[in-house]
Every structure is written in C-alpha cells, then in structure tokens.
Amino acid sequence: MAGFFDLALANLGSPLILSFILGVAAALARSELSIPEATAKAMSIYLLFAIGFKGGVSVADHGFDPALAKTLFAGIVLSAGLPFVAYALLNVLTGLDRTNAAAVAGHYGSISIVTFVAGTSVAEANGFIAEGFMVAVAAAMEAPAILSALWLIGRSGSNRMDGTLWREILLNGSIVLLVGAFMIGLLTGKDGLAEIEAFIVTPFKGVLCIFLLDMGLVAGRGIRENRDMIRPGLFAFGILMPVIGSCFGAAAAALIGLSVGGTLLLMVLSASASYIAVPAAMRVAVPEADPGIYLTLSLGITFPFNLTIGLPLYLGVARMISGV
C-alpha cells in the first residue's frame, strides 16, 4: 500500500500531471489561457507519430513476438465486451435511457490515445518498457466498441453504419498516423530512429506537458460548463468503470503473460474512454444521444481520474501481478 502511495505522489508531482492540473485549474478559474487550435493539432500529430514510430522500432529490435496476436485478439475482445459491462453498470448507477446509456457504454470500450501516451511515459519513467506492439493493440481497440454500442441501442448496425462512416472510423487520422508511424519504425528500425531521435525522443515529454496542459483546459471547461449534468450516479460511473475496465485488462495481460509495462498499457487501454473516434461516430449514427453526457464523462471525469489516480494504481497492480 505504501508503494502505491509513493507511486501516486511521484505521479502527481511529475511535470506531466502538474501541467494537466494547471490546465484544469486555469479553466475552472475562468482564465483566458488557451492553446491555439492548430498548435494542439500539431502536438497531437507529433505525439502520435513519435509513439507509433518508437513502437515499430521496438518490434523491429526485439523481433516478432507470439504475444502480439494474442494481445491484439484480447484488445478487440475487450473493446467489444467492455461496453456491455459499462451498460450494465450505467443501468445500476444512473437513470440514463437506453440510447444514452449505450452511447456512453461505447465510449468506455474504445480508448483514449492520450492516456495511452501518458501511460507509456509513466511506465518508462519507472523503468518498465512495454512491448512495442501495444501501439497496434491501441489502434485495434478504437472501433469494435462502436458496434457493441449500436447493438445495445437495439438496432442493427447496418441501419446506422454506412460505408462512409466505416471509412471515417477505420481510417480516422489518429489510427492512420499511429499505424503508419508504427510501420515506418518497423521498417527502418534502430537506424531510422537514430536519424530522427533528436526530434521524436528528446522533446517528447516537453511536448506532452504542453499537450496535457491543453487537455486540462479542455477537461476543466467541460466540467465547468456541464457541472449541473454531473449527478452522483454518473460521477460514480466515471470513476468506477475505468477501475473495472482495468481489472479486465489486467486479467487478459496476466493470461497472455505481458511484461509490467505491457500489463500497465493494456490496463490503461481498458480503463480509458474515447473522446475523439467514438463521439464522432455517435454524432453520425446516434444523433439522439446527448453529447454533453458522454463527452463530459469521458473527458471531464474518467480522463482526469486515469491520469492522476488511475495510472499509479494500474502500475501498482501491474507490478503486483508480475511480482516486480
């Protein structure tokens, strides 16, 4: 237990989390601080490219790992299955109608790539390097949850999912960049990394700090503007569901035999909630669902929870499972 508190304190005192907290505090205090839209977009491109590239280099360096296929399969099953757990929990804790509950549930099967990036950073800071293929697992977990959500709404997915929407989901910018950079890293290996290391390794944490500052501003504004909507049941769901999701991720990681870093990242992917891919799909396929509910939950409650308390908690569990 003391180990967890040490980890939690170290995490809370890191520049990454303090930057995020600064963003939340500034937004709650109605500061005019803001990161220009184009800058935030450029930083997200940089972070996705860097994390994808480094994952590819790691796979190239260590060779093909048989755990890759198992972890990809586990990720897809988790993404498709967790919305059902979330839906059941929403029914117990909140009075949301079927459509809104299913839409929220879909977000909790999919992933937050920023939480994944922060998780990678925390793992590395504690000396645990995750399997490089976890980047591919992250990409594979984006979409299955959307189908589960549509199934939960009670209508056939084909009614609401057209070819254009499929293309938008499967080829959304984050997935293309992540998988593309992964492939470039895989093809060019350590020699490729050596060529661009000064750009994608050294500045990484600094850029992540500014990006998390922006995410803090976004989360803080979301909390401020939607605080009336955050009822106790919804708040409890936003905190409990990531913990439950992480337990499923931990169980899958233990079955596969992932490293501490890999276990942490699979827990993070299972615990995090989407706020980019799934909301866009829901706006098209389920416009009746209230975006204020699912965006506030995933971005205003679950994202800050995962970043501040979740990451050290998951790392503690990952270390316990691996006996490290």
Partner 1 sequence: MLEMHDAKRVAFIIETPMQNRLTGALEEAGVTGYTILPVLGGSGASGRWSREGQVGRAGGMVQVICIIRPERLEPLLEHTFKLVERHIGVVSVADCQVLRAERF
Q: Which residues bind partner 1 (CB under 8 A)?
A: 34, 37, 40, 164, 168, 214-215, 217-218, 221, 225-226, 275-277, 279-284, 287-288, 290-292, 295, 299
Alpha-carbon gap, residue 124 to 70, rounded angstroms:
23
Please report how close the Cβ of residue 157 comes to partner 1 at its closest, in angstroms: 17
Amino acid found at 114:
V
Q: DSSP character for 306? A: I
Please report how close the Cβ of residue 213 comes to partner 1 at its closest, in angstroms: 12
Cβ proximity to partner 1, 14 vs 110, nearer residue: 110
Cβ proximity to partner 1, 137 vs 217, nearer residue: 217
Cβ proximity to partner 1, 222 vs 245, nearer residue: 222
Alpha-carbon gap, residue 192 to 189, rounded angstroms:
5
Cβ proximity to partner 1, 34 vs 308, nearer residue: 34
Check if the beta carbon of residue 244 is closer than 8 Å to that of residue 85.
yes
Please report how close the Cβ of residue 97 comes to partner 1 at its closest, in angstroms: 16
Cβ proximity to partner 1, 226 vs 308, nearer residue: 226
Alpha-carbon gap, residue 71 to 79, rounded angstroms:
12
Alpha-carbon gap, residue 312 to 249, rounded angstroms:
15
Residue with tokens 């499923």: 248
CB atoms within 10 A of CB 89: 20
Please report how close the Cβ of residue 275 comes to partner 1 at its closest, in angstroms: 6
CB atoms within 10 A of CB 184: 16
Token pair for 320: 């316990």
Please report how close the Cβ of residue 73 comes to partner 1 at its closest, in angstroms: 27
Q: DSSP character for 276? A: S
Please report how close the Cβ of residue 242 comes to partner 1 at its closest, in angstroms: 18
Cβ proximity to partner 1, 101 vs 277, nearer residue: 277
Alpha-carbon gap, residue 90 to 85, rounded angstroms:
9
